[in-house]
Amino acid sequence: MPDWVTICPVGSVDQEVLDHIAKCISIRCGLSCGVSMEMENPRYAYNDVRCQYDSKLILKRLIQQSPNNTLRFIGVTSVDLYVPILKFVFGLAQIDGKCSIISLHRLYPMFYDQPDDPDLFLSRVEKTVLHELGHSFGITHCRDRHCVMYSSVRIEDTDFKSADFCPTCMELFHWFLNKSSRPSR
């Protein structure tokens, strides 16, 4: 089983952001990480009524196109994502599955009429990608508001939490990682 995480731009995404995500996963999770070729702009997932993109449709396309030689496949897009029961999502993952998607759209400080702050933006990106990666390994939401696995329903939740797994979630992460790395019999 590979220990490689692949980051896939879905539509146009700044290469520096993709490289930052790969470095973050490598440092924080100890997993090798690289960036794949760009997938097409997700026009197929656009909802004219909501003026947003259906994250489940994009996730489905990622699942269909994920390479066999990667442990996890994470899509990164600049479009605004939603699931039908919520106004928006920062990301979506298959729980205990291979694929996830994150959106940069609502992570930019300017979206909230805040001044441009590249460090704050990248911090939000790190927390979002680690959160969805945690879900892909089977970790559910944590009650610890400082844990990266705490649910972010508002950007303030993302800003408040750290980019670290709490001790319990870190233990779960390693347990699920070891479980997924074992060859199946």
Q: Active-site residues: which are they? A: 132
Q: Are 45 and 58 in contact (CB under 8 A)?
A: yes
**Closest Cα partner for 138 from 108, 81, 179?**
179
Rounded Cα distance, 155 and 146, in Å: 14
3-state SS, residue 132: helix
Rounded Cα distance, 138 and 183, in Å: 18
Q: Which residues of 36-79 form beta strands (DSSP E)? A: 46-47, 52-54, 72-77
